[in-house]
Amino acid sequence: MTVLFSKYMFDNLRNLCHILFGGRVVSLKMQGTWCITTKSKASNHPLYLVITGADRGNGVYEINLNRPPISVTGQEWQISIRRDSEIDSINLSEKIHFPYKLDNKYQFDIECLYPDSQNQCAATLSCSKPQTTCDFIIYGEVSTYDKPCFFNPFYHFYIALETREAFFEALKYDPLRLAIKKLYLDRLSEEILISPLERSTTPFKPILIPIQDESIIPPSLGQVLNIRCNSNKNSDKLDQNNNLITIREIFTLIRTKKPKIEIDRQALVYLHDKVLPRSITEPLPEIEFQCCEYIRTCEEFQGGPFSGEGKRKKIGSCTSDRFGNYIFNFSKSENPHLESSLFNLKLNKDCAFQFMPDILIQLCNKENNEVIHETVPYWNVPLFKRINICFPKKKLAALEDIICDEDDINLSESDAELILV
């Protein structure tokens, strides 16, 4: 029997979990090395910080203003706040405040909120880490979009079609249909010829239609970083934790000679801004997602359209807080000085070279790690970047094992012939 997925079912389930389990479904995930201190504590009752899954720093710590900083290191670890030190005690909710740069450090705060109150803050933790040339931090909001909007509203300068249903909806609009025929003619033929039975088992690779940029996708970029080292006046040694990193130059790695494909961008901009339907986005709390680096294909490096055929390199997983906010830290291990020789860059000891990776986000089934949904890549991510993530709300049903109806795609033979002409 097919069960229709109501947009309220998912929210009501989460609200019930907040009541029964003290406001937490999953612990916040952290990555890399962070120093945690107590910034404030409003409650007279004992509160405990619990760190698990780290390489160094695991334990249960009482939260108080006199506690020395806690240094935690690990590829991926969890943080939670509890009312007492017992393992099965009630968790408090966490609210992430977005990170910022302070001198030579990244810093952000976590508010600890009572689950049975109107967001009353019990304590505030401060997390900080030094800037390096290999550490990347992305952060932002996680939310959902729903019909009548069929494209990702948070993906700027492009019309991002992330589902098969969105693809066929886009074909109803002349400027979009003509752009798809010029950029994705092979994909268009494949999607039209695929049978309804195969649609349910064949993953859909997202499609990107540029509306402003002259290029089809942005060229791959690198960055030259200035490193200002603060040394101890009484020592000749440099303190590697006191490096101030700034961007000196951003340059194109490969200058494409691929001929431009002419599409009517003026019509696409008007369509995007004035015609296409919008929907109200909703925060997506306490959701786990996976981050991957997307390795472009040769054709994509040369300026061709996004195909989705590139390799994916998993770089970690992340969770949003109760309000849909997230922060994710990852590292690129390449030697920043070694790679500069490939691009004829002359760097002194106070500079470093680093690639700007392309990052995409995946929703996965926890039981078998099957990818339920994948966003289009966020191109050329610098060391510190806000990225607001938005998922089609219908895709969340699979995370809760709710069976949805198939995408409403009715395409007759005459319709298919008209589209391909």
What pLDDT is recorded for position 25? 44
pLDDT greater than 60 at residue 2:
no
Same domain, 340 and 360: yes
pLDDT greater than 80 at residue 23:
no
What CATH number corresponds to the domain at position 95?
A: 2.60.120.400
What pLDDT is recorded for position 24? 43
The answer to whether position 41 is within a domain reads yes
Q: What is the mean pLDDT of residues 319-330?
A: 95
pLDDT greater than 70 at residue 19:
no
pLDDT greater than 80 at residue 217:
yes
- The number of distinct structural domains making up the chain is 2
DSSP 258: P
User: CA–CA separation, 224 vs 221, rounded Å?
Assistant: 10
Contact by Cβ (8 Å): 255, 219? yes
* Lookup: tokens for 207: 């499609």
The domain in which residue 56 lies consists of 23-130
- Phi and psi dihedrals of 353, rounded to 5? -110, 140
User: CA–CA separation, 294 vs 311, rounded Å?
Assistant: 6
Q: What are the tens digits of pLDDT across the range 347-367?
A: 667 777 888 999 999 999 878
Same domain, 188 and 47: no
Q: What is the mean pLDDT of residues 165-188?
A: 93
* Lookup: tokens for 176: 């979009």
Same domain, 41 and 146: no
The answer to whether position 83 is within a domain reads yes
Split at pLDDT 50, 70, 90, the class of 241 is: low
What pLDDT is recorded for position 15? 43
Same domain, 54 and 122: yes
The answer to whether position 415 is within a domain reads no
Split at pLDDT 50, 70, 90, the class of 256 is: low
The answer to whether position 322 is within a domain reads yes
pLDDT greater than 60 at residue 242:
yes
Same domain, 113 and 157: no
The answer to whether position 418 is within a domain reads no
The answer to whether position 409 is within a domain reads no
The answer to whether position 50 is within a domain reads yes
Query: pTM of the full predicted structure?
Result: 0.84
Same domain, 213 and 265: yes
Q: What is the mean pLDDT of residues 306-311?
A: 94
What pLDDT is recorded for position 20? 40
Which of 107, 130, 153 marks a domain boundary? 130
Q: What are the tens digits of pLDDT across the range 373-417?
A: 999 999 999 999 999 999 999 888 766 654 444 455 555 544 555
Same domain, 102 and 145: no
Contact by Cβ (8 Å): 272, 159? yes
User: CA–CA separation, 75 vs 156, rounded Å?
Assistant: 31
Q: Kindly tell me the burial class for residue 26, based on how many C-beta atoms sit within 10 Å of its own C-beta (0-12, 13-18, 19 or more).
A: middle
Same domain, 201 and 312: yes
Same domain, 56 and 189: no
Same domain, 126 and 145: no
The answer to whether position 80 is within a domain reads yes
Q: Give the residue with greater pLDDT, 242 vs 107.
A: 107
Split at pLDDT 50, 70, 90, the class of 178 is: very high
Same domain, 183 and 267: yes
Tell me what the pLDDT averaged over the chain comes to: 81
Q: What are the tens digits of pLDDT across the range 85-135?
A: 665 556 788 999 999 998 889 999 999 987 766 678 889 999 999 998 889
Same domain, 315 and 365: yes
Q: Give the residue with greater pLDDT, 57 vs 259.
A: 57
**186 CB-near residues (< 8 Å, 6+ apart):** none
